[in-house]
Amino acid sequence: MDKITPKQIAKTLIFTAIGAAPGIIWFWNGGTAQAIIIVCLGAFVAFGLSLPGVSIARVAGGTAGVLVAHNAPRSMQGKVMDTYVRENDPKKTDPEPEVDLPQEIKIETTVGEGVAHQTRTDESPQKIIAVKGDDLSWLQSLDSNGPEFVSHYVPGVTEPTLKDYDEAFRAWQFDYTPPYDDQKVIQIIGGYLGNKCVADFGMEWVNVTDKYGTDYAVCSKEVVLMSFPFSTVLKRIEDHKFDFVEGVYNSLKEMLSNGDYKTR
């Protein structure tokens, strides 16, 4: 609570006296019970207006708004009140920043047409470095356990497809005693998805550092278009969602074919 200062006390006494004055004059001249009520009511309202943080202009505007809106058509009463009560606050009147809405993209999958959404986010400085040496060899080896993972949940599959990985991932999420932990699944499916994009789309593994941290991604060698396969799998695990592997692959294929991006 704010400290009560002598100035605030004086302001409260003056306001209260002014508010009670009409009733006192009435009582002095007439001496009726109604005058006493007016004295008390006026003093109470004035006392309230004198308190810290109370906007006299807003109270006056609200009172005027009620009076005017009462005589306005019902459909206009809300707008009338907004006009009188709204405070002159630049933070409230500044227009909302424009946000790009997700753009719908039609893609063809093995089970028919699908829909993906592309969203343009705020640009932030990024440091993109191509992965080489032992790190690249490690990334290229991550999907080596993919066929075994898929066949564990989709028996009989020896050469798994994108759809097979989706089915296996769904089954793994509903497995209460899985032989694969979250990190292993992220590496297997993320590695498979990333390496397949590298092989099929002429992309490359890169290490991306920005204000959010550092992560592996696959990036087009021609334009600035990236996909983060490990973060993609992690997000689906956290959200308990599935059926995304084929969709991410085909979405990336569609964007590389028809998108307009900055050249590297």
- Residue 87, pLDDT score: 45
List the one residue out of 69, 66, 24, 18 whose CA is nearest residue 46. 18
Q: What is the pLDDT along the chain (264 residues), one digit of tens a residue?
A: 445 677 767 777 786 778 667 767 767 776 667 767 766 766 666 666 666 655 555 555 555 555 554 455 554 545 544 554 454 444 444 444 444 444 554 555 554 555 454 555 456 678 999 999 999 999 999 999 999 999 999 999 999 999 999 999 999 999 999 999 999 999 999 999 999 999 999 999 999 998 889 999 999 998 888 999 999 999 999 999 999 999 999 999 988 888 777 776
Torsion angles phi and psi, residue 219, rounded to 5:
-130, 140
Domains of the chain with bracketed CATH: 6-93 (no CATH), 103-258 (1.20.120)
Whether pTM > 0.75 for this model: the answer is no
- Residue 83, pLDDT score: 53
CB neighbours of residue 6 within 10 Å: 7
Rounded Cα distance between 243 and 162, Å, is 10
- Residue 106, pLDDT score: 53
DSSP 27-62: HHHH--HHHHHHHHHHHHHHHHHTSTT--HHHHHHH
Rounded Cα distance between 176 and 238, Å, is 16
- Residue 80, pLDDT score: 46
Determine the Cα angle at 152 with ends 149 and 158, to 5°: 75
For 74, counting Cβ atoms within 10 Å of its Cβ (0-12 exposed, 13-18 middle, 19+ buried), the class is: exposed
* β-bridge pairing 226-227 and 213-220: antiparallel
